[in-house]
Chain A
Amino acid sequence: MSKRIEVNDLHVYYGNFLAVEGVSMTIEAKSVTAFIGPSGCGKSTFLRTLNRMHEVIPGARVEGDVLVDGENLYGPTVDPVNVRRQVGMVFQRPNPFPTMSIKQNVLAGVTLNSKKLSNSAADELTERSLRGANLWEEVKDRLDKPGSGLSGGQQQRLCIARAIAIQPEIILMDEPCSALDPISTLAIEDLINELKDQYTVVIVTHNMQQAARVSDRTAFFNIAGTGKPGKLIELADTQTIFQNPTQKATEDYVSGRFG
């Protein structure tokens, strides 16, 4: 239940502003791929094109292809809603729905898509998703309490539970740990490690150690200057990127000699 992503010469625009230029890459199934690079180089922008969340922003558009197991996400007959059901996303800031309880938050993706669930199926899915997000033990006694009453790290894991409850093929995470303490970060990194048995995971991170710890492959993006488009510099096994990258820019960045 996981898929391989192939990106061909993708250009990403905000109105007339070219934010990301000419990206081609392959993201392997059942693996963790990390995106690193300086701020503003278009990591988030590119990540959001992989589940067609980019076009939610007015004026935003893309040129090029994204193939998931050979099927073009940007094909004329593809419904973005279906794409998003297959490619889940976890955002930088935890964003549980404030009007819903913990349980309702977990089930939101299913219930909002008008799938009827029997009580027992709902309980079972809640438990499975929360266990999958390493949150079950902490919240099992207060499933009916509001999701916004959890700590930041718990909220983020709740968002992960919500994302995996719809059983996507691919999970995208945009700096999922940037608002979290080291212990919650560790919990989420462990979780990512488990997730890759079932899902294809793509994670954006500013934390080099995190990229090294969790990812199998790492993509380095860079930007030539302000107002210029971001580009993919290289994508390789994480070890290669951190130990002997082919590009000088990558080496400078991962060794902290940036700019």
Chain B
Amino acid sequence: MTTALVTPEEPKLDHGIEENPVRPAPRFAWLIVLLASFAASAALFAALGFSIVGVIIVGYVIYLIAVTVTYSAMAGRRKGTDQLMRSLIYGAFVLALIPLVSVLWTVISIGAPAISADFLTKDMYGLKGVVDKAVVEQGAPLQGGALHAILGTLIITAIATLISVPIGLFTAIYLVEYGKTSRLAKSIRFFVDVMTGIPSIVAGLFAFSLFGILFGIGTKNGIAGAVALAVLMIPTVVRNSEEMLRIVPNELREASLALGVPVWKTVTKIVIPTAASGLASGVTLAIARVIGETAPLLLAVGVTMKTNVDPFNGPMNTLAVYAYNLFKFPLNPGYRDPSLERAWGAVLLLVIFVVLLNLLARFIAKVFAPKTGR
């Protein structure tokens, strides 16, 4: 090997880091720019004829340009780009919040008045149209409630969970810990993906015809509904659990195997506890996804006005079906408003259930999370 001596005169190549210094900018400069942009936009629209949507859109565009220019001039180009991206992201965030807040606001403001002790403890059995006429014409209190639908939702969703969590969890364990890339595992993954995409009405038809074949055409009961929901839940549980098991570091499995622990014990004692928080929240989110299903339950469970807590026997009601049904077939077609109020109340209860489930998922995740610190 020959060592070439570098001649000192050789010019240094100019490949280094581009100089792009960043200077400090005043902390609240963006706020001033924001207010100025919207003021300018409002002034513009005052001249043209006022429109709140127009003020916001034009104000936002002015702000995007102004904040980029201001920060580039004050603090350097990198800060200018940073502010532009920040503003775009915050803009997208606000945009995404609009439908959410609007839905929540509508549901709460219309549904809240319907909810009372009666609403939570009575069903609709035997109620006649005249009571709604009385509500509208004489201001009598709302009669009847959603107890049957609350119980139906809880029972059917619980049974669906009992069916789909073991199947889904064991499938995920097979896929991650045993099947890996085998042909069987690959085809299971494929079919799970296909199942994720089936429309919920198809799941309802499946349960409807399955129970029709087994127990006679037109059999409608809670179990049939739970089966329909399980068909929808299983792929979600498999996919969520698979992701959660996959992120358990391989080093932990190896550490356990190297201690002479068999594979199944490694899975039950090391992998699942490590992934437990993720698994639990995955399951809760899968429940949240099916708790509001309407169409499949309408097909498989039917509708009733009466409290029925026996899932093996006869139609039941659930919150979403209850809301749909009162909206479509009001108790008194001449006086729709009380029925609509009940429907909104049921929808609000459903939203509350979903929120509670999400809180529960967070709580479970916290309880199971691997401990750190001393």
Where the two chains meet, the residues of A that have a C-beta atom closer than 8 Å to any C-beta of B are 51, 53, 56, 58, 81-86, 88-89, 91, 93, 95-99, 108-109, 112-114, 142, 145-146, 148-149, 159, 162-163, 166
Q: In the complex, what residue of chain A is closest to B373 when comparing beta carbons?
A: A149
Q: Does B252 contact A (CB under 8 A)?
A: yes
> Besides the contacts A95-B255, A145-B373, what 6 more A-B pairs have beta carbons closer than 8 Å?
A84-B257, A99-B270, A109-B260, A112-B261, A162-B255, A163-B258
Bound together, the chains give a CA A247 to CA B211 distance in angstroms of 78
Given contacts A93-B251, A98-B274, A149-B373, contact A53 B257 (CB under 8 A): yes
Bound together, the chains give a CA A63 to CA B254 distance in angstroms of 22
B278 to chain A, nearest CB (A): 13
A99 lies within 8 A of B373 (CB): no
Given contacts A58-B181, A146-B371, A149-B374, contact A95 B261 (CB under 8 A): no
Please indicate the chain A residues that have their CB under 8 angstroms from the CB of B254 in the complex: 53, 56, 91, 95
Residue from B181, B252, B262 in contact with A95 in the complex, judged by beta carbons closer than 8 Å: B252
Bound together, the chains give a CA A145 to CA B180 distance in angstroms of 34
A58 lies within 8 A of B259 (CB): no
Bound together, the chains give a CA A149 to CA B371 distance in angstroms of 9
Using C-beta atoms within 8 Å of the partner chain, give the interface range for chain B: 20 to 34
Instruction: Pick 17 A–B contacts, CB within 8 A, sort by A.
Output: A56-B253, A81-B260, A83-B260, A88-B259, A91-B254, A95-B249, A95-B254, A95-B255, A99-B270, A99-B371, A109-B261, A112-B256, A145-B374, A146-B374, A149-B372, A149-B374, A166-B260
Bound together, the chains give a CA A162 to CA B255 distance in angstroms of 10
B244 to chain A, nearest CB (A): 14
Q: In the complex, what residue of chain B is closest to A165 when comparing beta carbons?
A: B259
A81 lies within 8 A of B372 (CB): no
Q: In the complex, what residue of chain B is closest to A172 when comparing beta carbons?
A: B258
Residue from A91, A99, A145, A149 in contact with B255 in the complex, judged by beta carbons closer than 8 Å: A91
A148 lies within 8 A of B372 (CB): yes
Q: Does B128 contact A (CB under 8 A)?
A: no
A97 lies within 8 A of B255 (CB): yes
Q: Does B328 contact A (CB under 8 A)?
A: no
Please indicate the chain B residues that have their CB under 8 angstroms from the CB of A51 in the complex: 258
Q: In the complex, what residue of chain A is closest to B262 when comparing beta carbons?
A: A81
A142 lies within 8 A of B374 (CB): yes
B178 to chain A, nearest CB (A): 11
Q: In the complex, what residue of chain A is closest to B265 when comparing beta carbons?
A: A112
Q: In the complex, what residue of chain A is closest to B268 when comparing beta carbons?
A: A112
Q: Does B366 contact A (CB under 8 A)?
A: no
Q: Which 9 A-B pairs have CB atoms at the shortest separation, nearest pair first?
A: A85-B260, A98-B370, A109-B259, A89-B258, A84-B260, A146-B371, A95-B251, A149-B374, A112-B261
B261 lies within 8 A of A88 (CB): no
- Among B159-182, those with CB < 8 Å from A are 180-181
A146 lies within 8 A of B370 (CB): yes
Please indicate the chain A residues that have their CB under 8 angstroms from the CB of B266 in the complex: 112
A156 to chain B, nearest CB (A): 12
Q: Does B269 contact A (CB under 8 A)?
A: yes
B369 to chain A, nearest CB (A): 9
A82 lies within 8 A of B259 (CB): no
Bound together, the chains give a CA A142 to CA B373 distance in angstroms of 11
Q: Does B273 contact A (CB under 8 A)?
A: yes
Q: In the complex, what residue of chain B is closest to A166 when comparing beta carbons?
A: B259
B258 lies within 8 A of A84 (CB): yes
B259 lies within 8 A of A98 (CB): no
Counting chain A CB atoms within 10 Å of each CB, which of B253, B276, B371 scores highest?
A: B371
A226 to chain B, nearest CB (A): 21
Please indicate the chain A residues that have their CB under 8 angstroms from the CB of B373 in the complex: 145-146, 149
B270 lies within 8 A of A97 (CB): yes
B294-319 interface code vs A (CB 8 A; 1 in, 0 out): 00000000000000000000000000
A187 to chain B, nearest CB (A): 20
B184-203 interface code vs A (CB 8 A; 1 in, 0 out): 00000000000000000000
A112 lies within 8 A of B269 (CB): yes
Please indicate the chain A residues that have their CB under 8 angstroms from the CB of B265 in the complex: 112-114
Please indicate the chain A residues that have their CB under 8 angstroms from the CB of B249 in the complex: 95
Residue from B259, B370, B374 in contact with A112 in the complex, judged by beta carbons closer than 8 Å: B259
A99 lies within 8 A of B274 (CB): yes
B82 to chain A, nearest CB (A): 35
Q: In the complex, what residue of chain B is closest to A98 when comparing beta carbons?
A: B370
Bound together, the chains give a CA A211 to CA B256 distance in angstroms of 27
Please indicate the chain A residues that have their CB under 8 angstroms from the CB of B260 in the complex: 81-86, 109, 113, 166
Bound together, the chains give a CA A98 to CA B260 distance in angstroms of 19
Bound together, the chains give a CA A85 to CA B261 distance in angstroms of 8
Please indicate the chain A residues that have their CB under 8 angstroms from the CB of B180 in the complex: 58
B272 to chain A, nearest CB (A): 10
Please indicate the chain A residues that have their CB under 8 angstroms from the CB of B251 in the complex: 91, 93, 95
